[in-house]
Chain A
Amino acid sequence: MTSVSSDSHMWNLVFLQLLLEENGGKVINLGACAPDELVMSECLRIRPDALVISTVNGHGHIDGLRLIRKIRGHAVLASMKVVIGGKLGVHGSRQAGSRAELVANGFDAVFEADADLDRFLDCLGLGTPPPRRVASTDIRST
């Protein structure tokens, strides 16, 4: 789990770590302001089942796109599950097209600020009810 390079927010990361751990996840929390290079090198070292990116400062769309292009362009990390969520732009949830662009560039799912946490956990194969198969369009519609 990580934030993006320009985002210093922390409560989202503290909360998500607790949530994921309570639902059976093992979490390595890289914390705030993680540079792309650190996220990449830690993913290569740890080889996680999934990378969760949480960001709320409004640059998540820009920084998230830059990071996912690097991840998908990397031979080893190209197939890693990567989801992003939070407040991704500076205009609240009025940015039509932003989510689609993030998905088109390689995110497996995008969860905006009011997304349902069960669906987030489902997407990562965690939580109750037990993980079920969710159509990709379903995951991406939050």
Chain B
Amino acid sequence: MAPPTGPGRFTRFVRRASSEGKLVVQPRMGFGTVEQMRAGLDAVRTVDAATVGTITVDSYTRVNDHASALLALEEGADLNGFPLVAHGAAATRELLAGIAGDDFPVQVRHGSALPGALFEGLVAAGIDATEGGPVSYCLPYSRVPLAQAVDAWAECCEMLAGISEPVHLESFGGCMLGQLCPPSLLISLSILEGLFFREHGLRDISLSYAQQTNQQQDIEAIRALRSLAKEWLGDTDWHAVLYTYMGVYPRSRQGAYGLLEDSARLAARSGTERLIVKTAVEASRIPSITENVDALERAARAAEREAVAEPAGIPDSGIYEEAQAIITHTLTLGSDVGKALVRAFALGHLDIPFCLHQDNANRCRARIDDRGRLTWADPAGVPIPRARDLAGNRRRLTARGLIDMLSYNERRYDNPSRISHPR
């Protein structure tokens, strides 16, 4: 079958909104039953903003424990997402009937290192957008050996590429462990996964970046991501997607919305096409439909008020050069992107700070500096230009010190008058 040409439904929708100056906003939303999920999608569809729908699968489906998902459904137990495989393609197709369409594309979000069964299920249900990646859904989310995840993702990408309607695939590489991963590394992983997708036949992709701790730095990072995407992936249909902060979230309503609105302004100022939001209750539980709708509207309004792309005076702290160095070096390590990724992690040249997966060296370290910027403490084996100056630059991390860094945004948004930078 000839590979599809031109962007698919998901990307066409994002392009259209972008040309109208609108930020596409998207929830992370998943419910166990078809009824709840349909109500959720319906509510998101009617939000006064350019929205795309999300079906987040539950974590049994993520680890291919479909029997536990089925059992939970039978017993009426609460699931933390939609068990797409357990429900089956027919029920999922029915769920989307009259909801998903050109004006409301729906993406399946999951977290699976071995997404074969899920991808078959979503394709059979007529879904044409999903996300993840061989690294970003293996190292932080599973115990699956990286080489096995790479093989599984290669097969899955090729399966998606063989479908007559273009399927959109988003890299989750810009969000490793949610926080405390240096921006240049996030960007590198997004681009490398994008290259992996392209190598396996996909031409309709997006590249992610997760909001961190300093808006100026994030603007620099997103600008670097866009430049690198043009250089490395210019022959694909790509756009950028920003995640509202994925780390420890503020507890107060005011703090939570403050951080959300800052992410929407960041998206607008950096020309990001799509934003995945968080809600006011993120710190304590899985949000309700109403809470998701509130968050989407808040984010859309904040982006509209900002509406300036490419602000003057973007700082240059070398994020672009670092990411370029990491990508270029990684690609020398294998005859294809997948092999290069596996080898880079085995050598510790790619290394995710604090990630416990057995195939991650876990030697490099990040920290939040006295200006609130997320920086390298010790890059260990990661080949950035300043690596030699920074190597071994680590003090013993304590539980208190880690919590201080993890809760940096929580503190400053919950108590704006008491900003204290972690040491």
Q: Which residue of the partner chain, among A11, A15, A59, A92, contacts B80 with CB atoms under 8 Å? A: A59
Cβ contacts under 8 Å, B281 to chain A: 92
Q: Which of A26-34, A41-49, A67-75 contacts B (4 or more CB under 8 A)?
A: A26-34
Determine if A125 is an interface residue (Cβ-Cβ < 8 Å): no
The answer to whether A58 and B357 have CB atoms under 8 Å apart is no
Assembled-state Cα–Cα distance A93/B283 (Å): 12
Q: Name A7's closest neighbour in chain B (CB-CB).
A: B59
Q: Which residue of the partner chain, among B59, B143, B403, contacts A15 with CB atoms under 8 Å? A: B403
Q: Kindly provide the distance from the CB of B192 to the nearest chain A CB, expressed in whole angstroms.
A: 21
Q: Kindly provide the distance from the CB of B35 to the nearest chain A CB, expressed in whole angstroms.
A: 16
Q: Name B286's closest neighbour in chain A (CB-CB).
A: A90
Assembled-state Cα–Cα distance A8/B58 (Å): 12
Determine if B423 is an interface residue (Cβ-Cβ < 8 Å): no
Q: Name A29's closest neighbour in chain B (CB-CB).
A: B356
Size band of the interface chain A makes with B: 20 to 34
The answer to whether A31 and B143 have CB atoms under 8 Å apart is yes
Q: Which residue of the partner chain, among B59, B78, B179, B403, contacts A6 with CB atoms under 8 Å? A: B59
Q: Which residue of the partner chain, among A10, A34, A113, contacts B355 with CB atoms under 8 Å? A: A10
The answer to whether B406 and A11 have CB atoms under 8 Å apart is yes
Cβ contacts under 8 Å, B284 to chain A: 87, 92-93, 113
Q: Kindly provide the distance from the CB of B161 to the nearest chain A CB, expressed in whole angstroms.
A: 27
Those of A90-130 within 8 Å (CB) of chain B: 90-93, 113
Cβ contacts under 8 Å, B354 to chain A: 10-11, 14
Assembled-state Cα–Cα distance A40/B328 (Å): 43
Cβ contacts under 8 Å, B140 to chain A: 8, 10
Cβ contacts under 8 Å, A5 to chain B: 63, 65
Determine if A78 is an interface residue (Cβ-Cβ < 8 Å): no
Determine if A80 is an interface residue (Cβ-Cβ < 8 Å): no
Q: Kindly provide the distance from the CB of A94 to the nearest chain B CB, expressed in whole angstroms.
A: 8
Assembled-state Cα–Cα distance A78/B63 (Å): 28
Q: Name A4's closest neighbour in chain B (CB-CB).
A: B59
The answer to whether A8 and B141 have CB atoms under 8 Å apart is yes
Q: Which residue of the partner chain, among A13, A57, A91, contacts B356 with CB atoms under 8 Å? A: A13
Answer whether A33 and B402 are a contact pair too, CB < 8 Å, given A8-B140, A90-B80: no
Assembled-state Cα–Cα distance A15/B397 (Å): 10
Determine if B1 is an interface residue (Cβ-Cβ < 8 Å): no
The answer to whether B143 and A90 have CB atoms under 8 Å apart is no
Cβ contacts under 8 Å, A89 to chain B: 78
Those of B159-184 within 8 Å (CB) of chain A: 177-179
Determine if B60 is an interface residue (Cβ-Cβ < 8 Å): yes
Q: Which residue of the partner chain, among A11, A19, A34, A90, contacts B177 with CB atoms under 8 Å? A: A11
Q: Kindly provide the distance from the CB of A52 to the nearest chain B CB, expressed in whole angstroms.
A: 14
Q: Which residue of the partner chain, among A8, A18, A91, contacts B111 with CB atoms under 8 Å? A: A8
The answer to whether A6 and B397 have CB atoms under 8 Å apart is no
The answer to whether A15 and B406 have CB atoms under 8 Å apart is yes
Q: Top 10 nearest A-B pairs by Cβ distance?
A: A92-B285, A18-B399, A19-B399, A58-B80, A8-B141, A6-B59, A31-B356, A92-B284, A90-B286, A90-B78
Seen from chain B, the residues whose Cβ lies within 8 Å of a Cβ on chain A are: 58-60, 62-63, 65, 68, 72, 77-80, 111, 140-143, 177-179, 247-248, 281, 284-286, 354-358, 397-399, 402-403, 406
Q: Provide 6 A-B residue pairs closer than 8 Å at the C-beta atoms, listed in order of the A residue.
A: A14-B356, A32-B142, A58-B59, A58-B78, A59-B79, A91-B78
